[in-house]
C-alpha cells in the first residue's frame, strides 16, 4: 500500500460514517483532497480511490467559500467531469492492453511462418536427395519410392500449411495496421487526458 493511500483511508472512513459537522476542521478534507490530486489518473481509476475522490469533491462543492474563485470553478468542473475522465482512462487503457496482446499474437504467427518455410526447404532438399538415390539405386526402387511418396505428402501438407499461414499473416497485417492507427489515436487521447489532469492538478499544487 502506498503512502498516499495510507494517509487517505482513515479520513475517507470518517466521511462515510460521520456528518461533516463532526470534523474538527474542514482543513482535514482539504488535506485529503490535495493527497488525492497528486495521484495519477491510473491510480484514481481504482474503484476505491475513485469513490474517495467523488466523496471529497461532493463535500468541497458544498464549501466553495473556502477556495478562490478560480479554484471553486475548477472544483465544480471536476465534480462533473471526473467520472468521465476516469471512464475514458479505463476504456483507452483496456484498448491499449488488447492491442499489445494482438501484437504478440501476430508475432507468434509470423515466427511460425518462418519455421514452416525452413521446414519446407529441408523437405525439398531431402526430396531431391531421394530423387538422386532413386536413379543410383534401382535395386532399392520400391523402398526409395515409398519414402519419396511419404516425403512428397509431407511437402504438400507443409506447402498448404504455409499458404494458409501466409494468408492469415496478411489478414493479421492489415488488421494490425488498423490497430496501430487506433493505437496512435489512443496514445494521443491518453496523453491529452494526462495533460488535462496535470493542468487541473496545477491549480492545487
pLDDT by residue for the chain (205 residues), tens only, comes to 344 444 444 455 554 444 444 444 677 888 888 888 898 888 888 888 888 888 998 888 888 887 889 988 998 988 899 888 889 888 888 888 888 887 788 888 888 878 888 888 888 888 888 888 777 867 766 776 788 888 899 999 989 999 988 888 888 888 889 888 999 999 998 898 888 888 888 887 7
C-alpha grid cell, residue 92: 483507452
Residue-level pLDDT at 153 = 92
CB-based contact 90:111 (threshold 8 Å): no
User: What pTM did the predictor assign?
Assistant: 0.43
Give the containing element (helix H, strand E) for 157. Answer: helix 141-202
Rounded to whole angstroms, the Cα distance separating 51 from 53 reads 5
CB-based contact 26:56 (threshold 8 Å): no
Residue-level pLDDT at 157 = 92
Residue-level pLDDT at 154 = 92
Tell how far CA 89 is from the center of its chain: 11
Residue-level pLDDT at 3 = 40
CB-based contact 99:178 (threshold 8 Å): no
Rounded to whole angstroms, the Cα distance separating 162 from 7 reads 59
What are the percentages of helix, strand and coil residues in the chain, rounded to 5?
90, 0, 10
| DSSP string covering 158-172 | HHHHHHHHHHHHHHH
Sequence-distant (6+) residues with CB within 8 A of 4 are 35, 36, 38, 39, 43
Measure Cα distances from 21 to 17, 36, 62 in Å: 12, 22, 12
What is the DSSP secondary structure assignment for residue 20, as one 8-state letter?
G
Amino acid at each position: 500500500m502506498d503512502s498516499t493511500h495510507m494517509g487517505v483511508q482513515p479520513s475517507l472512513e470518517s466521511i462515510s460514517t460521520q456528518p461533516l459537522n463532526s470534523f474538527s476542521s474542514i482543513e482535514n478534507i482539504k488535506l485529503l483532497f490535495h493527497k488525492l490530486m497528486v495521484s495519477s489518473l491510473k491510480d484514481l481509476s481504482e474503484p476505491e480511490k475513485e469513490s474517495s475522490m467523488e466523496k471529497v469533491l461532493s463535500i468541497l462543492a458544498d464549501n466553495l467559500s473556502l477556495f478562490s474563485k478560480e479554484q471553486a470553478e475548477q472544483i465544480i468542473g471536476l465534480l462533473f467531469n471526473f467520472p468521465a475522465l476516469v471512464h475514458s482512462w479505463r476504456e483507452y487503457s483496456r484498448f491499449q492492453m488488447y492491442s499489445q496482446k494482438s501484437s504478440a499474437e501476430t508475432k507468434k504467427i509470423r515466427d511460425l511462418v518462418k519455421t514452416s518455410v525452413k521446414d519446407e526447404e529441408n523437405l525439398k532438399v531431402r526430396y531431391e536427395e531421394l530423387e538422386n538415390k532413386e536413379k543410383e539405386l534401382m535395386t532399392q526402387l520400391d523402398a526409395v519410392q515409398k519414402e519419396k511418396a511419404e516425403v512428397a505428402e509431407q511437402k504438400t501438407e507443409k506447402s498448404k500449411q504455409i499458404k494458409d499461414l501466409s494468408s492469415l499473416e496478411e489478414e493479421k497485417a492489415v488488421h494490425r495496421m488498423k490497430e496501430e492507427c487506433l493505437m496512435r489515436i489512443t496514445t494521443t487521447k491518453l496523453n491529452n487526458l494526462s495533460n488535462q489532469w496535470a493542468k487541473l492538478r496545477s491549480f492545487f499544487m
